[in-house]
Structure 1
């Protein structure tokens, strides 16, 4: 039985109805998908290249946030470089690039999904530590530490993406994932749901709930630009990838259902939705440069082409600035308390001296 790999798109031979229909035969789906991917490539590829250049060539200091954004731009830019292959696939409605490229390209697509969400999760955790435990932020600010952590993330991403190579193959001019049993379908898509959705989304959600609660509790209830920027990245990614993960859940349900009308309905849903939701997911990789542009447009007149580098530098020092502000405020509060105590002691001394003077004057009389 031929099944869909889920991650990339428009390549599924399906037997939900017992036939040999493929999604690339759907004229509307392939046209919409090709249009979306063309726009994504034109906007996302140069945008991510510009982000990478801004950090490597223009940034004076590479903070933790800057390094995470750099790796995210590399992952997204790599995916954007692959989109022309998929555009041709959709327009011709058949795979023209051979079996090896079929495996490699879809492996890289799946790796990008994992890399993007894991990097965004690290951003959220870093902001959480910076806000809740600023005294411990030095553990993460070491460049050697963050580089080691990023290396571990990339290794895990490459290992987790192996199913795309194992199951992907070209049959009847369709680059597809083929499973011998429904158990393989459940295993593959459950892995994607757990590693690419459930775990990171829960960590991100909990992190930002804690961050927002702490900001409301502190005396400095100001909107910090870097917090808004990272939150916008998180929300954008979740918004564009959520439909894809919903379709994955539908396909897992389809694989677990016994034959009948419900299974047939589930098969129709994921078959017809895979093209659009997978193309929408690609939009997330071109959205970040747009967010950076609007977040950093105030720097354009002053910094020119280096405006993004200044934005990322600012995002990296906001936590330290906030910490120093809090420390300064705490220091001022302590000084005020000290002054108050000294003033009270001075008042007591004055009262004591006055009483002594009165007694002395009476005795003299």
Structure 2
């Protein structure tokens, strides 16, 4: 029997009122905070900076803000779904919305991972970093990231269907895997590529950065260490629940009997809240830009984002001549945080009109 026809046993979001309410709350917070924040970042870079002054970090931050902003534009679909317990928009929008959402979420995570590698090289291999940090190269890498995200999101388009619950009469937009092996492949791929590998790289990069920063003046080093620890914690808090639910769903497809039923109920109960929590990762970066910018908001007003990426050379740049030569972009951005590790006098996102 085709499991896609058994929608009463397949309902993901309608089985747990608590998860649905939590999902609505998280999605509303993400939209209210993240939409204006990310569009402000986009506006600042595109309209408050001269094109010739947009550095590598500016290009990365702009792409990250676009990816996060597009994801957050889709929140009304999910909020209405959870509110009315019914998918109102048809099969084409079901597939399209989830595909676009996945593309931008993959791209966001990959861009954040690239930023982590970039910062690690800038701190630990400054000469090499300076030699390879070229705009044309980062544009090619970003093109590859968006293409990879588009391909990796194909399962979201292929497997999503609008199913009807024969008892409640509700329509549900959810993945429909005709065989357990497809579900195992789908969610394992998503978790490994979008969490395990990026998190391993991010953790490795910031561990190397922390080791390198041990010799910086105690006051600055201590503050940076706390912020980097917060970076890792935010990444885990916002994304781990979603991928735990993925792995529970994989386990339910590998198990049988009562165990499979219990695992199935567990992932159904947690999916809505965990997915909505992951949306917060797209909204929190602009908040932390504000936090890291400090007094620049008072002195620069709406231009503070531009000033945020400018700065005056301090910290590591004062320690070695090689790092003094790195007058380019020393911003750390990961899911949940943005931190200036070293400030630069000549580069960054400067060039206010």
Mapped to 1, the partners of 2:221 and 2:58 lie a distance apart of 20
Q: Tell me if the contact between 1:169 and 1:178 (Cα under 8 Å) persists in the aligned partners.
A: yes
Mapped to 2, the partners of 1:253 and 1:164 lie a distance apart of 19
Q: Is the partner of 1:37 in helix, strand or coil?
A: helix
Shift of 1:189: 0.7
Q: Tell me if the contact between 2:124 and 2:209 (Cα under 8 Å) persists in the aligned partners.
A: yes
Aligned to 1:46: 36
Shift of 1:13: 4.5
Note if 1:118 corresponds to 2:110.
yes
Q: Is the partner of 2:320 in helix, strand or coil?
A: helix
The 1:329/1:46 distance shift into structure 2, 3 A limit, reads closer
Q: Tell me if the contact between 1:110 and 1:161 (Cα under 8 Å) persists in the aligned partners.
A: yes
Mapped to 1, the partners of 2:58 and 2:95 lie a distance apart of 32
Aligned with residue 163 of structure 1, among 148, 155, 160:
155
Which string of whole-angstrom CA distances, capped at 9 and with x for unpartnered residues, describes residues 230-249 of structure 1?
77555423320111011111
The 1:122/1:73 distance shift into structure 2, 3 A limit, reads same
Where in structure 2 are the equivalents of 1:102-117 lying within 5 Å? 102-117=94-109
Shift of 1:283: 1.1
The 1:116/1:329 distance shift into structure 2, 3 A limit, reads closer
Aligned to 1:100: 92
Aligned to 2:185: 187
Note if 1:303 corresponds to 2:300.
yes
Shift of 1:323: 4.3
The 1:21/1:301 distance shift into structure 2, 3 A limit, reads closer
Q: Tell me if the contact between 1:40 and 1:282 (Cα under 8 Å) persists in the aligned partners.
A: yes
Q: Is the partner of 1:146 in helix, strand or coil?
A: helix
Q: How many positions carry a matched residue from both structures?
A: 313
Which string of whole-angstrom CA distances, capped at 9 and with x for unpartnered residues, describes residues 131-171 of structure 1?
11101112332111111111111111111101111111112
Shift of 1:98: 1.3
Which string of whole-angstrom CA distances, capped at 9 and with x for unpartnered residues, describes residues 11-52 of structure 1?
x9563xxxx655325433323322321222122111110111
Q: Tell me if the contact between 1:63 and 1:141 (Cα under 8 Å) persists in the aligned partners.
A: no
Aligned with residue 122 of structure 2, among 112, 130, 134:
130
Which string of whole-angstrom CA distances, capped at 9 and with x for unpartnered residues, describes residues 55-85 of structure 1?
2222453222222221111111001111111
Q: Tell me if the contact between 1:236 and 1:287 (Cα under 8 Å) persists in the aligned partners.
A: no
Where in structure 2 are the equivalents of 1:76-95 lying within 5 Å? 76-95=68-87
Aligned to 2:270: 273
Mapped to 1, the partners of 2:140 and 2:127 lie a distance apart of 22
Query: RMSD of aligned C-alpha atoms?
Result: 2.7
Q: Which has the larger radius of gyration?
A: 1
Mapped to 1, the partners of 2:227 and 2:115 lie a distance apart of 11
The 1:145/1:72 distance shift into structure 2, 3 A limit, reads same
Aligned to 2:343: none
Q: Tell me if the contact between 2:238 and 2:278 (Cα under 8 Å) persists in the aligned partners.
A: yes
Q: Is the partner of 1:174 in helix, strand or coil?
A: strand
Which string of whole-angstrom CA distances, capped at 9 and with x for unpartnered residues, describes residues 281-315 of structure 1?
1111111111111111310121111112211234x
Aligned to 2:234: 236
Note if 1:261 corresponds to 2:273.
no
Where in structure 2 are the equivalents of 1:11-22 lying within 5 Å? 13=7, 15=9, 21-22=11-12
Shift of 1:318: 6.0
Q: Which consecutive residues of structure 1, in runs of 5 or more, have no partner in the other structure?
A: 4-11, 331-365
Query: What is the TM-score when the length of structure 1 is the normalising length?
Result: 0.78
Shift of 1:324: 6.3
Query: What is the TM-score when the length of structure 2 is the normalising length?
Result: 0.81
Q: Tell me if the contact between 1:40 and 1:283 (Cα under 8 Å) persists in the aligned partners.
A: yes
Note if 1:32 corresponds to 2:22.
yes
